[in-house]
Amino acid sequence: MWDVILYNGEADVLECRLREIGDLVERCILIEGDRTFQGQPRYGWTDPLPERFALWANVLHRWWVHGLNSPDPWLNEHYARHQVARALDHYGCPPDAMVLHGDVDEIPNRAVPYLTVTEPHVLWLRTFAFCVDWEDTPTDGPVLAPRHQYDDAAALRAARRDTPMAALRDAGWHLTWIGTPAERTRKLGSFSHPEAREWLDPERVVATGEGWLRPLTAVDVDGTWPAWIAEGRAPEWWYRPR
């Protein structure tokens, strides 16, 4: 299986993902832009990854994307996703290989039998927002499909909602908005929903579970979370205040 993900410097989330499936993938390709989807320059975006990722040096690759210049954030996001096919071809992905594409924070569960899938499937994920112990409703996440069906990753991602698509249920975790206060502020000015700046106060959600799209549910971490979290390796700022 090949893993191709959008990446905006979320190093802790990336480590959580690689700890979960890094030994299951032939390649993990990070799609990284010179600008955010809202058009802001990403300074230091070509800096080397931290030393902790040396463990996955044989599978981890980076694909640089230039030209995210549209005033429409969604066009910039789609342009970045259109690079998936180019990256796969560059690294020699066979046409019959299975490819998983989504965002870095959409983390697959290693227990899912990926190698039995031969047609497009969307992974449905347990969702934790702002902290790993604030639970949201499940969301549709990455799409697993053969390489020959990944010529347009943006269209295939849209198809998970626009057309009927087979699903793998309880197939992982969406760790959305999880990080340091600085990382949450950066996301607010980076992602494809600039309108969120008008109503979203990330630190209020962290503190109370209120102020998001719907109230979040306080839960306790157990063995059903990604192993990196369940084993207590996640940083303290990934947890709600107690």
pLDDT in tens, the chain (242 residues): 999 999 999 999 999 999 999 999 999 999 999 999 999 988 777 888 999 999 999 999 999 999 899 999 999 999 999 999 999 999 999 999 999 999 999 999 999 988 788 999 999 999 999 999 999 999 999 999 999 999 999 999 999 988 889 999 999 999 999 999 999 999 999 999 999 999 999 999 999 999 999 999 999 999 999 999 999 999 999 999 98
Asked if residue 234 is part of any domain, the answer here is: no
What global pTM score does this model have? Answer: 0.95
In total, how many domains does the chain have? Answer: 1
User: Under a CB-based contact definition with an 8 Å cutoff, are residues 226 and 20 in contact?
Assistant: yes
Asked if residue 159 is part of any domain, the answer here is: yes
Structural domain span for residue 154: 2-121+140-176
Distance between CA atoms of residues 147 and 96, nearest Å:
6
User: CATH number of the domain that 116 lies in?
Assistant: 3.90.550
Asked if residue 186 is part of any domain, the answer here is: no
